[in-house]
Structure 1
Amino acid sequence: MKKTLDCAIIGGGIAGLQAAIQLGRYKHNVLVIDSEKGRSTLCRSYHNILGYPDGISGVELRQKGKQHAESLGVEFLAAAATKVEKQSDSFHIYTEAGEFEAKRLLLATGIIDNIPPFPELYPCLGISVYLCPDCDGYEVKNKKTIVIGNGKVGANMALTLTYWTQELVYINHGGEAIDEEVQKKLDEHHIPVINKQIKKVEAEGSNLKGYTLEDGEFLEGDHSFIAFGGNIVKSELARQLGVQVMDNNHITVDGRTKMTNVENVWAAGDVVAHSEQVTIAMGDGSQAAIWIHKSLLNEK
């Protein structure tokens, strides 16, 4: 085991990277442990970030963040953290690559989106296929948009998108029933519901072309939203430490400091209970880092 770290950050997505940059500027000894499988590795273009009016991919943003943090002395480990525990005044983090000890711990473990297993969807994410209406509803303004999803979750996504477009179709690929009240709202907005499974996603690179359904019907469309529900919130490491977790598995933190109920354990980004936005994750990461720094100063 190496020298005790000032802070270990588990998760090298947007929140973890922003925290790493801030802590690096404070000259702390920091290690970012990242499995490199987070949701920010999937998005081909974020459109709502200050300074990037034409969009930037999650991969590029991560690369820039990592390079920035490394220039400040932050180290990175490409591995999954499998276990964490508190021993005396430090935390022990167990990974595929060995064990590490840290005085402070930041959990930026994020969530995993429930995306149906069609490989053709992945190159389209953030360009012609979207997950978040707050991020990308604007991208379908006045455009025909196909929502694919399951039951009420997908139906509510379609209703949300009526703020931007009235040209909507909902493919209830998951097949769960839609309750009468929600169906009534869909009818009011003239949103047809297709209760069929998708056989194949038709796309050319990052450009969606449409969906071939189980009966052979082809539904043409070059913009789509995914809404199946059941996203996985990666808070299992938090639970190991006794961190307070909500019924929906998101971590609760102090609104000002971002520290959890467990002393010297912070959380930031999508794993925390708030809007899942890149810009919010950045702010979370910075705020957590500031208070981690303050706690380390007080200790000294």
Structure 2
Amino acid sequence: MTYELREQYDVVVIGGGAAGLNGALMLGRARRSVAVIDAGEPRNAPAEGVHGLLGREGMPPSELLEIGRGEVRQYGGHVVDGAVTSANPTRDGFAVALADGREVKARKLLVTTGLVDRLPEIPGLAEHWGKDLVHCPYCHGWEVRDQAIGIVATGPMSMHGALLFRQWTADLVLFTNDRLALPPEELEKLKARGTRIVDGPIERIESEDGRIRGVRMANGEFVERTVLATSSRMEARAGFLKDLGLKAVEHSSGAGEHVPADPVGRTEVPGVWVAGNVTDLMAQVGAAAAAGAMAGAQINMELVNEDTAAAVAEYRAG
């Protein structure tokens, strides 16, 4: 079943991942008119399954989203395909413009557009993302356990990754790639646990039959690996918010850019809320969904207060 956008909603949710759908679910159950506008670019699309999510362990991401869409529609919410290009303030809320020329108005906005992963610019690396190039041991560690894993360093946080991935394999190599300087005490930790350190720049990643075969160093050395792990620079999808005066800023961790918000998702722009990876770069699916639910409940309470204030004013006038 498909839905056309109406002209006006209580809430428009921009982004149809776990955070957006769970926020819309809460709002729909609160009898709010809500529309979810989804551009169809989920961050976890390359992954075979969602992991670490109780009750949905191993489910393909697309299947999880389809279930979520059905649940939102069950409570009267609209879920539509479309890319948002801008959002502007109006007298009563916001006007949201889509790339195909449609426009929709809302009293409140919930932004759950997620993020984009910027990978190290190493030839042959990006095409393996989400398959045999992974980033999170809690998301992928079990699936690559006991394999020959290589950590491609991008900065100081890569030491953290090397310590973690050792839990899933004894055959671990850390490629510093001229991005990570290890002090003696950190080197000692790695060597004590049998992790090999390979210094120097990486020239390319070599593959065979679509799978990683190993890492070719700039000095000609070849190191066989079947799985690589690296950290991306994470950048919130938030460019369309610029007309509201809201933009992504550098995260305190140095991991990328996010849209700041308070603990329940309220941004510095009144009426605009965020949830999921657009604000919490490290959130897994369960945490993103929970944040969406919290934001949805908080938005409903704000609308309740506004409706109540309007009713009181009318009551007094009458």
Query: If the TM-score is normalised by the length of the shorter chain, which range does it land in?
Result: 0.7 to 0.9
* Aligned twin of 1:181: 183
How far apart, CA to CA, are the structure 2 residues paired with 1:223 and 1:179?
23
CA offsets per residue over residues 78-133 of structure 1, 9 Å max, x none? 221111111122111111121111111001011111246657525xx2x6542223
Residue 293 of structure 1 pairs with residue 291 of structure 2:
no
How far apart, CA to CA, are the structure 2 residues paired with 1:150 and 1:254?
29
* Aligned twin of 2:280: 273
Residue 191 of structure 1 pairs with residue 182 of structure 2:
no
Contact 2:134/2:140 (<8 A) preserved: yes
Secondary structure of 1:61's aligned partner:
helix
Identity of aligned residues (%): 27
Contact 1:111/1:234 (<8 A) preserved: yes
- CA drift at 1:151: 5.1
Residue 24 of structure 1 pairs with residue 31 of structure 2:
no
- The residue correspondences of 1:1-300 to structure 2 (distance < 5 A) are 2-53=6-57, 55-97=58-100, 98-115=102-119, 120-122=127-129, 125=130, 128-150=132-154, 152=156, 154-171=158-175, 175-181=177-183, 184=187, 186-187=190-191, 189=193, 190-193=195-198, 195-202=201-208, 208-211=211-214, 213=216, 219-227=223-231, 229-243=232-246, 245-248=248-251, 249-255=257-263, 257-273=264-280, 275-300=282-307
Q: Structure 2: any 5+ residue segments left out of the alignment?
A: 252-256, 308-318
Contact 1:120/1:202 (<8 A) preserved: no
Secondary structure of 1:21's aligned partner:
helix
- CA drift at 1:142: 4.6
Contact 2:111/2:275 (<8 A) preserved: yes
Count of residue pairs brought into register by the alignment: 289
Contact 1:89/1:103 (<8 A) preserved: yes
- CA drift at 1:273: 3.4
CA offsets per residue over residues 127-170 of structure 1, 9 Å max, x none? 65422234334444554322235354545422332344332123
Contact 2:234/2:281 (<8 A) preserved: no
Contact 1:209/1:222 (<8 A) preserved: yes
Contact 1:42/1:59 (<8 A) preserved: no
Relative to structure 1, the CA distance from residue 253 to residue 177 in structure 2 (aligned partners, 3 Å threshold; closer, same or farther) is closer
Normalised TM-score (structure 2): 0.78
How far apart, CA to CA, are the structure 2 residues paired with 1:154 and 1:254?
28
Higher gyration radius (CA): 2
Give the aligned CA root-mean-square deviation in angstroms.
2.9
Q: Structure 1: any 5+ residue segments left out of the alignment?
A: none
CA offsets per residue over residues 4-29 of structure 1, 9 Å max, x none? 21111111111011111222222222
